[in-house]
Amino acid sequence: MTRFWLLKCEPDVYSIDDLERDGRTGWDGVRNHQVRNFMRDEMKPGDLGIFYHSNAEPPGAAGIVRIERSGVPDPTQFDPKSEYHDPKSRREDPTWRMCEVSFVERFAELVPLDRLRGDAALASLLILRRGNRLSITPLERAEFDRIRVLGAVRAETGTKGAAGKQGAVGTKGAARTKERLRAAK
DNA sequence: GCCAACGTTGGC
DNA sequence: GCCAACGTTGGC
């Protein structure tokens, strides 16, 4: 059974444009146990996800991805040079997992958070709940379908946001602080 | 195990 | 830059 997910990432770190260019990417850098468990136990090849731009101007739903693999050991945990290196993790039993996602589509226009919030059909969307900070959350099929419909319709007004167009150097699962972003430049 | 201090996330 | 809402850490 196909399941549906919402994957958050800061576009300054990795955006839907980067994924369109790359075609496929490892969703590495997740260091939250709940999200790790989703990727290890629940996400399956063929599942679909909304790619959400967080910490952006404006934040919102940017496109659609397909889960290609999941539960894959995240290589950054074994890389001493990575800021996500975890010296306690063993190769025989990796602590941190990632999924691999492929590009499906970029929305005709980003669906801003305001628009998601104002939509009655999305009232139960987990990312709209106060205090929710998980970088990956499950979606109902109806929620996924609704966001896809909103994304397919080009708004009659509104300017296209200047999406970040940087190389794929960062990690997706964990947002970077502005300080770290600055340091990375 | 408790909990205060601190760090992170992410919208605004 | 601010701050609410977490999660993590470490002393006890």
The count of other CB atoms within 10 Å of the CB of residue A79 is 13
Which residue type does A30 have? V
- Region A42-70: what's the mean pLDDT? 97
Instruction: Give dist(CA A56, CA A53) in Å, integer.
Output: 6
Question: Residue A68 CA to nucleotide C5 C1', Å?
Answer: 33
Question: Residue A42 CA to nucleotide B9 C1', Å?
Answer: 24
Domains, chain A, ordered by start: 4-184 (3.10.590.10)
Question: Residue A177 CA to nucleotide C1 C1', Å?
Answer: 13
Question: Residue A31 CA to nucleotide C8 C1', Å?
Answer: 12
Q: Is the pLDDT of residue A183 over 90?
A: no
pTM of the full predicted structure? 0.86
- Region A35-48: what's the mean pLDDT? 97
Q: Is the pLDDT of residue A62 over 80?
A: yes
Average per-residue pLDDT in chain A?
87
Query: What pLDDT, on a 0 to 100 scale, did the predictor assign at position A31?
Result: 94
- Residue whose CA is minimally distant from C7 C1': A32
Q: Which nucleotides of B are covered by protein (CB under 7 A)?
A: 8-12
Long-range Cβ contacts of A80-83 (<8 Å, 24+ apart): A83/A171, A83/A180
